[in-house]
Amino acid sequence: MAGLPPRDRSRSLSSSVKSRSPLETLEHMGFPRDRAEKAIAATGNHGVQPAAEWLLSHVNDPHLDNHEPREYIVYLCPTGELRKTLIEFWDKSVQLCGWNAAHMYYPHITLCTFFKIPDNKVNLIDTIMNVVIQEIGQWPCNKNFIGYFVKTPHHQYAEQLMIKVMDVFLKHGIEMRPQMKQIHMTLAFQYDADHHDLLMKLAQEINLHCDASWEIQIYSRLQDLKTSEVRRVIQNYQPAQSDELHLLENDFVYMAPEEHEHSPDGWYKGTSHQTWDFRAFPWQFYCQMLADGDVDLAQIYASSQPGIAHTPQRWLFT
């Protein structure tokens, strides 16, 4: 009998490597399991490379082995022409009336309160988004989906959606509470009372019937930073002293609100999102306060999901 032909071990090995999950791959690379799970959660379960880069950049992070789970929240966010129109309102209101607390946020509708997911259960987000897609696919068409408040019957549809999401989470031991009060999009709050009439006039000029798409987005944050202000780095800065923060363009810097009162010279203490270093940084010329997100939204590390494009005929997932 003729002998068996030799096997191509490289092909078999390649297939084995491809079948590994991101967690298995990171463990195979030598990262401890709990750190690998933390990195996967922090980067939104987007694969091995972002998680590995996160681990390497956080090598000096004193909180790296903190096992406190991240907090998550679900938003319904406009895209397309409606988002553009809302951002124009944001810009005009800050120019004419000054900053108010709504300028810290993306235009969005909050669908639930913050809830915690252990790092080893972040894969549940994909399961949840499948539930969302199936449920919203059954919603009837209506051109007037969004105003300042979500009107009936869409208010009930959103509630039913989040109750189904809550049930899925509960089956896995995770408590999540849907937003049961009147679902709405905030345009301005915590503003000077003298500006109320002008802000109301600007809000009434928003064209709520322009073309719009909607995306269900899941965001996460670290509980320790939920009261922090966020600065986006707009220009690189090379430290001149050992106690200064290395600023890299498009990084985020988290800063305690009380730093405004403690700085005599325009230098503030802050934490880099990329490296988690905590040092002094110059705000002026190098950083800008986010008008496109707060600390909750700056940490966008849940999964990227299909959008919901609304047309007069049907809901489309893109």
Q: What is the pLDDT of residues 221-246, one digit of tens each?
A: 888 777 788 888 989 999 999 999 99
Report which secondary-structure segment, H or E, holds 84: helix 80-97
CATH number 2.30.30.40 is the correct assignment for the domain at 227-289:
yes
pLDDT value of residue 236: 93
**In 52-136, where do the E strands start and end?**
70-79, 109-110, 115-117
Architecture of the 70-222+302-317 domain: Alpha-Beta Complex (3.90)
Residue ranges covered by each domain of the chain: 24-67, 70-222+302-317, 227-289
The whole-number average pLDDT for the span 287-294 is: 54
In the prediction, which pLDDT does 22 show? 92
Q: 238-242 contacts: CB < 8 A, separation 24 or more?
A: 239/279, 241/280
Q: Model's pTM, two decimal places?
A: 0.74
Q: What is the mean pLDDT of the chain?
A: 78
- Nearest CA to 201 out of 215, 188, 211, 182 is that of 188
Query: In this structure, which CATH number among 3.40.50.2300, 1.20.1060.10, 1.10.8.10, 3.30.1950.10 belongs to the domain 24-67?
Result: 1.10.8.10
Strand partners for 269: 280
Non-local (6+) Cβ contacts of 310 within 8 A are 141, 145, 212, 213, 214, 316
Contact, 112 vs 74, CB < 8 A?
A: yes
Q: How far is residue 264's CA from residue 12's CA, in Å, rounded to a whole number?
A: 64
* Rounded Cα gap, residues 179 and 170, in angstroms: 16
